[in-house]
Amino acid sequence: MPAARSLSPVALILVLLLSAAPVTAAPEGMEYTDDAALSEVSEGRGVFLVDIGSPDKLALYLNLIPGTYQRLEKQGVDPDFVLVFIGPSVKHLTKPSDSLADLEHGEALQRIRQGIDKLQSLEDVRLEVCNVALEVMDVAPERLLPGMKIVSDGFISVIGYQEQGYHLVPVY
């Protein structure tokens, strides 16, 4: 008789997640709001600290953040966002090339570029890239996508924005 195999922790988590009750949308005609959180709020100032090494995960978040911006607007709050890219995320903010990364992660990198384009099309969204991360990750500044502003140190940028009243939104 073959020995029983146990599930790895990752497989167990996947099984539990997939077997959980599905999340349902709001009933037709009803919309969810953030009334309690946005009570007496007129401006949503957020500094997003983006530190994601996975191109697929980075693409996901870069394409979700514009929706957050739009949902704030829809609820009467003026969004003002700064995204500060640090760590391995900077490797994926580059122009298309024939590199191994582009060949291996081409679809995800294309979705990252689409997310960056969406963010750049919004008013009051700034995209900053940490020069320390560029140096550590060996990314040449000229390879960055257009519209990305290089700052000396992403941590300093986040500290400065928080001092100006921006609220930290960690994106890992």
Give the model confidence (pLDDT) of 111-140 as tens digits.
Answer: 999 999 999 999 999 999 999 999 999 999
* pLDDT for 16: 39
On the CB side of 80, CA atoms within 13 Å amount to: 12
Higher per-residue confidence, 1 vs 54: 54
9 vs 117, higher pLDDT: 117
From 137, 163, 124, select the one nearest 85 (Cα to Cα).
Answer: 137
Residue 136 lies in a domain: yes
Q: Which of the four pLDDT bands, split at 50, 70 and 90, describes residue 21?
A: very low
What CATH number corresponds to the domain at position 70? 3.40.1260.10
Q: The domain containing residue 139 runs over which residues?
A: 43-171
pTM comes to 0.82
Q: Is residue 134 part of a domain?
A: yes
Least confident window among 22-26, 93-97, 112-116, 125-129: 22-26
Query: How many angstroms separate the CA atoms of 171 and 26, rounded?
Result: 26
Cβ atoms 158, 47 nearer than 8 A: yes
pLDDT band at 12 (very low <50, low <70, confident <90, very high): very low
* Percent above pLDDT 90 for the chain: 76
DSSP for 17-47 reads HHHSPPP-PPPTT-----HHHHTT--EEEEE
Judge whether 19 lies within some domain: no
- Split into its structural domains, the chain has a count of 1
Q: Is there a domain that residue 129 lies in?
A: yes
The residues with which 84 forms a beta bridge, in sequence order, are: 49, 128
Answer whether residue 22 is part of any domain: no
Q: Within a domain: residue 135?
A: yes
Q: What is the per-residue pLDDT for 102? A: 72
131 falls within a domain: yes
Q: Is residue 16 part of a domain?
A: no
